[in-house]
Amino acid sequence: MTQENEAAAPPNESGSEEQKLPPLSLKDFGVYNRMAAQMDGFHNHFRLSWKDLQNACETNGKRSGGLKPKQLILTGLRFCSQLDFHHSIEEEHIFPVLARKMPEFRQKKTLLAQHKRIHRGLDELEQYLEKCRSGEEDLELTEMKRLMDAFGEVLWTHLDEEVRTLGAENMRKYWTLEEMRTLPM
């Protein structure tokens, strides 16, 4: 039997009776790990943007990296918009395809539940930054940090777990090499 046809039967919901799979060749690992590598690239952008915003909030009013309040507001709004767009693509185009075989991507499972918690925090941060941009409120770094901290842990957990779930060793439990080549991304 070739590696092409060796996708193991998916583990049951509890993860028991998992079959030990043979080692992957470097080429096959690349095919199975493609989505994780691409997702990690997207997620690294969000990690860096988050750290920049956090660092700016922790300067106690001193300008961090030369960011003026208006620049910080626009950077924060851009972060919110880009992460929201990223999640929309995942939820509409990626997760439904993966959910056919992978319970991690089905409704009410961890990754989608994390998206909902992240979006609640993003919405609050975006509303605050919009008020600051319009002049309705002054930018308070402590308030911006508080809003970010409210969903920071779930965001970072999600960024890591999603990449891990898309990793070669997990993907090969559900998909053949040929199927992997047809998956979106």
H helices, E strands: number in the chain: 7, 0
| Confidence (pLDDT) at 11 | 52
In the chain, domain spans? 28-182
Q: Can you give the three-state secondary structure of 136-179, one letter per residue?
A: CCCCCHHHHHHHHHHHHHHHHHHHHHHHHHCCHHHHCCCCCHHH
Question: Over 90: is that where the pLDDT of 102 sits?
Answer: yes
Is the full-model pTM beyond 0.95? no
Helix (H) or strand (E) holding 126: helix 110-134
16-58 pLDDT, tens per residue? Answer: 456 788 899 999 999 999 999 999 999 999 999 999 999 999 8
The answer to whether 47 and 37 have CB atoms below 8 angstroms apart is no
